A and B are shown apart, each in its own frame.
Chain A
Amino acid sequence: MSIFVDSNTKVIVQGLTGGQGRFHGLRNRDYGTKVVGGVTPGKGGTDVDGVPIFDSVEEAVAATGADASFVVVPPRFAADAVIEAAQAGIPFIVCITEFIPAQDEARMYNRLRRDFPGTRLLGPNCPGVISPGQCNIGITSGDIALPGGPVGIVSRSGTLTYQALYDLSQKGVGQTTCVGIGGDPVPGTNFIDCLAAFEADPETKAVIMIGEIGGSEEERAAEFIKEKMTKPVVAYIAGVTAPAGKKMGHAGAIISGSQGTAQAKMKALAEAGVTVAKNPTEAAELMVGIVSKLK
C-alpha cells in the first residue's frame, strides 16, 4: 500500500512539450509510472517520445482515463493549469512550479477549496510524490528510493527529503510513500493531510517528517500527532540558526517576529511525543532504530 498514488495511477503531464516537462515527465515514465498523456494547448495530436499530446486536460482525461496530473508550466500559467485540471475532474494534482505570485496562489487554493473540494493539490513549489516501485510524479530521483515500506516521509524541503530517502535506503529501510509538500506559504496539501493518510495506511508503520522555519504548520502537525497518531514519528526541522526576517530560499521559510522559529516547532513536536533529530541523517538513523524494534 501507499498513499495518494500507486501502480494504478494514470498520469498526464501539463507542459510535457516543454524542456522541464519532457525531462521529468519521461523520467517518471521510465521509472514505471503510467504516464498516459501530455497537455499543451495547440499541440494536440502530436506526441513526446510516444506519449500522446492533447489540447486540453478535458480531452486528455476523456481519451486516457487519467486520474492524476503533473503540472510543469511557468509561474504565470501555473494557477490556471491547476484549475483546468480540477475542472476536468482530476482528483490529484502535483504542481512543481516555483515562484507563482502569492496572490495567484491564494486565489487558486481558495478556488479549489470552494469549487473542487474533492481535488487534492500537492504543491506548488514541491518535489512531488513517489511511492517507490509504483509511481513517481515529480522531480525526485527514483534511484534513491527503496520499495516495500514501512516508512512514510513527508517534507517541506526537496534536498532534505532526498537525503532522508537515501539514508534510509542505504540502511535497507524502504518507504511506502514520500511526499514533498513544498516550500510555499499556501501549500495545497499540508503535513496533517499526509500524517492522516499515513496513519490510515496499513503498510506504513512509522513516519519521518521534515519541516523548516516559517508559518505554523509544524505546530499544528504536532497537535494532530498528539491527538490522533498511533504510529511513531521522527522529525527534523531546518533553520535553527536562520535569522529573523530573511527568506531562506523558499517563499514560506521566513521567521517573522517570534513566529515560525525552528525552536518553537521542535519544542511542540517533542511535547507531542515525536522523536526530534538534530540533522537529516540523524533522523534516518533514529528511524532505523525504531523500525528494527517494530518486528
Chain B
Amino acid sequence: MDLFEYQGKQFFAQYGIPTSPGGVATTVDEAVSVADKVGYPAVIKAQVQVGGRGKAGGIKIANNSDEAKTHAGNILGMDIKGHLVKRVWVEHASDIEKEYYASFTLDRAAKLHLAMVSAKGGVDIEEVAATDPDAIVKHHVNPLDGITVSEAREIATRAGIDQPAIEGVAEILVKLYDAFVKGDADLVEINPLILTPDHRVHALDAKVTLDDSASFRHPEWEEFRATQEYDGREKLARELGLNYIGLDGTVGIIANGAGLAMSTLDVVNQVGGNAANFLDLGGGADANTMTSALEVINTDHNVKSVLVNIFGGITRCDLIAKGIIEALSRVELNAPLVIRLDGTNAEEARKIIEPYVSDRLIIRPTMLDAARTAVSLANEGDVK
C-alpha cells in the first residue's frame, strides 16, 4: 500500500522523524485555516500518488491568506496525470540551505536491506542514479544487525553530506531504519531531506510503501487503507477478494495462478489483442470465485470478449467446468466467453461444457487458440 505524503509524514512522526508543522485539508477553507495556523509563507501541496506534481502546478507557496485561498482553490480538484486531487497538505515553508536524499528498501539480489543516501537530493533520484551513480552511497544493512548511529554517520560522511548536517542526518537514518523495520514498510524514502540555514535537518517529503502482508499486526493501517484510491473495478474486486489489476484493453482475462494469468496477458498480446485486466482466481476456482470474477469483468465496459484460461492440477478441471456453468447461470455476461481448460480431467470438463456451447460460449483446446478466438471477437466482433 502506497501512502500519500501526509500519511507518510504521520507515519514518520510515530518514529520521531522531524517534519515541518502542517496539516491536511480537503476544502479551501480548511486549507486557509491550516496555513493561518502554521504561518506564512506556507506551502500547499497536492496529495496524489504520482510523481511530477510540482511541474503540474500542484505545489504552490502562499504568502498570505488570500494567496492560500487562491492556490488551494486551484489545486483541489485538479487533475494530475489522471489523479484527482482530493486533499492538500499545508505546511510552513522551510528555508532550505541544502537538499539531500535518504531511503531504505530491500536489495533483492543481495537479500539484505539497502540504505541509499545522497547529497544530491530534491531531484529525480533515478535521474541521478543514471547520470551520476557515484553521487549515491549504497550501504547494505543485515536485518539481523540493524544500523548503529556511528554506521549512519559514516554513510552520511561518505555521501558528502555537509558537516553541520552529519549528526542530524545520521540520527534520522537510524530512525528511518526503525520505521522501515518496525513499521513493516517495503520502502521509506525522504526526498528531499533538508538542511535549514539554522542547521536543522528534517524531512520535507515522505514516500512510504507498506507491506500488505504485515497488515495483521498493524490495525492502525485501517486509517490509511480508507483513503486508498482504486478504480471502480479494482474496488469491487478487492471487496470480492480477487487478485485483480485493471488495464486498458478489450479482452477480459480470468486465469488460475499469477504466472498463468500473466502469461495469458502476453499471449493475447502476441496474437494482436490487449488485455482489459489481470485476474488470478487463486487455487480454488469454484463457482463462487468464478461468479465474482465474472461480475467484476462485467463492470468493465471496454470488455468485448472474456478469456478464461484454467490449468487444473489438484483442482480438477471437471469441478472448475461445473463452477463456470454454475457462475454463468448467476451472471449474465455482456461479452462472449472463450474457455480453455487443460490439465487433470480436462476431457470430462469439456464434456460438461459442450451442451452449453454457443456463439457466446466457446471452448478451445489450447491457450493460443483460445487467445486467437477471444482477440478476434474483441477486435472484429466475430470468430475468424
Interface residues of A (CB under 8 A from B): 27, 75-76, 99-104, 106-107, 109-111, 113-114, 139-141, 143-144, 155-163, 166, 183, 185-186, 210, 212-217, 220, 236, 238-243, 246-253, 257, 262, 278-281
CB-CB nearest in chain A for B145: A110
Tell me if B142 and A220 are in contact (CB < 8 A): no
Chain A residues with CB below 8 A from B260, complex form: 157, 159-160, 163
Of chain B, the residue at the smallest CB distance from A278 is B270
**Listed stretches B69-77, B251-259, B350-358; interface member:** B251-259
B338-360 interface code vs A (CB 8 A; 1 in, 0 out) = 00001110000000000000000
* Set of chain B residues within 8 Å of A110, measured between Cβ atoms: 111-112, 142-144
Contact of A141 among B112, B269, B313 (CB under 8 A): B313
CB distance from A112 to the nearest CB of B (A): 10
Contact A158 B144 (CB under 8 A): no
Q: Which residues of B contact A215 (CB under 8 A)?
A: 108-109
Interface residues of B in 175-207 (CB under 8 A from A): 181, 184, 186
Give A249 Cβ to nearest chain B Cβ, in Å: 2
Q: Is B3 an interface residue (CB 8 A)?
A: no
Which chain B positions have C-beta within 8 A of A141? 313-314, 343-344
Q: How far is the CA of A194 from the CA of B211 in the complex (A)?
A: 29
Inter-subunit contact A157/B258 (CB<8 Å): yes
Pick the contact of A162 from B143, B255, B343 — CB < 8 Å?
B343
**Residues of chain B having any CB pair with chain A under 8 Å:** 106, 108-109, 111-113, 126, 142-144, 181, 184, 186, 211-214, 216-217, 243, 245, 247, 255-263, 265-270, 275, 278, 280, 283, 311, 313-314, 342-344, 366-368
B113:A212 contact, CB within 8 angstroms: no
Cβ–Cβ contact B343 & A144, under 8 A: yes
Q: Cβ of A248 and Cβ of B213 under 8 Å apart?
A: no
Q: How far is the CB of A128 from chain B (nearest CB, A)?
A: 12
In the assembled complex, the Cα of A163 lies from the Cα of B366 at a distance in Å of 11
Q: Establish whether residues A103 and B259, one from each chain, have CB atoms under 8 Å apart when the complex forms.
A: no
What residues of chain B lie closer than 8 Å to A159, measured between beta carbons?
A: 255-260, 311, 313
B234 to chain A minimum Cβ distance, whole angstroms, is 10
Q: Are B263 and A106 in contact (CB under 8 A)?
A: no
Knowing A241-B266, A249-B280, A250-B258, the reply to whether A166 touches B213 (Cβ < 8 A) is no
Q: Which residues of A contact B280 (CB under 8 A)?
A: 249
Q: Given that A110-B144, A143-B344, A241-B266 are known contacts, is A162 also in contact with B184, CB under 8 Å in the complex?
A: no
Q: Is the CB of A238 within 8 A of B262?
A: yes
Bound-complex Cα distance A247 to B2 (A)? 12
Q: Does A75 lie within 8 Å of B144, measured CB to CB?
A: no
- With contacts A110-B143, A241-B265, A279-B368 known, what are 8 further pairs, Cβ within 8 A? A104-B214, A107-B143, A144-B343, A158-B258, A186-B106, A215-B108, A251-B213, A262-B266
**Is A183 in contact with B258, judged by CB distance below 8 angstroms?**
yes
* A39 CB to nearest B CB, Å: 23
Give the distance in Å from the alpha carbon of A103 to the alpha carbon of B211 in the complex.
Answer: 9
Bound-state CA distance A157–B186 (Å) is 22
CB distance from B316 to the nearest CB of A (A): 9
* A212 B368 Cβ-Cβ under 8 A: no
Among B108, B113, B368, find the residue whose CB has the most chain A CB atoms closer than 10 A: B108
Flag if B265 contacts A242 (CB, 8 Å).
Answer: yes
Q: List, in ascending order, chain B residues with CB within 8 A of A186's CB.
A: 106, 108, 111
Bound together, the chains give a CA A238 to CA B253 distance in angstroms of 15
B367 touches A109 (CB 8 A): no
A101 x B257 contact (CB < 8 A): no
A-chain residues with CB within 8 Å of residue B265 when the two chains form the complex: 239, 241-242
Q: Are A220 and B109 in contact (CB under 8 A)?
A: yes
In contact, A160 and B184 (Cβ under 8 angstroms):
no
